[in-house]
């Protein structure tokens, strides 16, 4: 959990074509969902965003991205079997000016800036959830080859590079699941984060540790910047936020019946058991 985070999109909702950041100060508009198509599916944590690889995308309202040589980190959980699939992109299709974080045609991570690129070594389009990230910091001679790529918290070894000076330009709003070249992401996307600095390897690793959620991150993920209140029962199912967090429930879904504690007698002891809905640990165990 990083308190300087501004662009954190948990995607934990059930309906609608507009989704807010955890901090409550940014929104993504969703486009291309015709008819009864819904963006909201099971994600890596709670709900997630589904993209069809054809028409569906998001736009971060009023945000053109990190420009020129500004430091940056883009991170997300993705689940895809596609290649040439943009996760996040912004900037014009001019040498050094675009910034696209995507799944390469052969399945590894790639950052391309028009005229230059870097490709990692781990294949991520295997249909499983992976945490992916890219970071960039200006070292005085800003080049796309300075980008650091991470998969599931592990730094990537570049397998292909093409040198080009970074000078990211503005061209409308940041695109989610698409890019200026009209490509589209196919699959699931969750926990999108954009930081105005280059996270260190340890910080990226912390984001990728999927089975550990601090209480603060869980509360902010579901309730943004609202005051911390563990006693409220948001979905009216009889389980307050603290119990939802402790037992792996969803505070906006009436799932208390699945969380219910079951009494069991074992010899001279009474045990209470519950089937947690999420794997892993948290601060209460």
Residues 6+ apart with CB under 8 A from 205: 150, 153, 154
Q: How confident is the model at residue 72, as a pLDDT? A: 97
Q: What pLDDT does residue 3 have?
A: 47
Q: What is the pLDDT of residue 1?
A: 40
What distance in Å separates the CA atoms of residue 243 and residue 256, rounded to the nearest whole number? 9
pTM (2 decimals)?
Answer: 0.80
The pLDDT value given to residue 80? 98
Q: Is the Cβ–Cβ distance between 72 and 86 less than 8 Å?
A: no
Q: Both tokens of residue 56?
A: 């569906």
Instruction: Give me the domains of the chain, ranges plus CATH numbers.
Output: 7-210 (2.60.120.200), 215-282 (no CATH)
Query: 53-75, pLDDT tens digit by residue?
Result: 999 999 999 999 999 999 999 99
Residue 210: what pLDDT?
A: 60
Low-confidence ranges of the chain (pLDDT < 70): 1-5, 36, 210-214, 216-217, 225, 274-285
- What pLDDT is stored for residue 257 in this prediction? 80
Tell me the per-residue pLDDT of 79-96, one tens digit each, with 9 for 90 and over: 999 999 999 999 999 999
pLDDT in tens, 173-192: 999 999 999 999 999 999 99
């Amino acid at each position: 959990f990083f308190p300087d985070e501004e662009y954190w999109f948990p995607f934990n909702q059930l309906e609608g074509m507009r989704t807010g950041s955890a901090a409550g100060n940014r929104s993504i508009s969703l486009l291309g969902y015709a008819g009864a198509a819904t963006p909201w599916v099971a994600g890596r944590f709670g709900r997630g965003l589904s993209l069809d690889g054809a028409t569906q995308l998001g736009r971060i309202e009023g945000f053109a991205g990190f420009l020129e040589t500004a430091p940056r980190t883009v991170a997300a959980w993705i689940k895809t079997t596609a290649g040439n699939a943009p996760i996040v992109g912004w900037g014009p299709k001019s040498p050094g000016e675009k910034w696209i974080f995507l799944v390469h045609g052969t399945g590894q991570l790639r950052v391309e800036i028009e005229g230059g690129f870097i490709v990692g070594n781990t294949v991520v389009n295997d249909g499983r959830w992976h945490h992916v990230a890219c970071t960039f910091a200006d070292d005085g001679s800003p080049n796309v080859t300075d980008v650091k790529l991470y998969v599931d918290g592990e730094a990537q070894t570049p397998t292909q590079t093409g040198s080009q000076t970074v000078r990211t330009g503005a061209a409308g709003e940041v695109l989610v699941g698409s890019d200026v070249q009209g490509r589209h992401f196919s699959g699931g996307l969750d926990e999108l984060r954009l930081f105005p600095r280059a996270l260190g390897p340890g910080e990226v690793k912390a984001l990728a540790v999927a089975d550990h959620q601090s209480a603060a991150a869980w509360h902010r993920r579901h309730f943004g910047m609202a005051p911390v209140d563990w006693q409220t029962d948001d979905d009216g199912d009889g389980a307050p936020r603290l119990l939802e967090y402790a037992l792996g429930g969803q505070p906006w879904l009436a799932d208390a019946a699945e969380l219910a504690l079951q009494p069991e007698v074992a010899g001279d002891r009474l045990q209470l058991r519950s089937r947690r809905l999420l794997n892993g640990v948290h601060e209460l165990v």
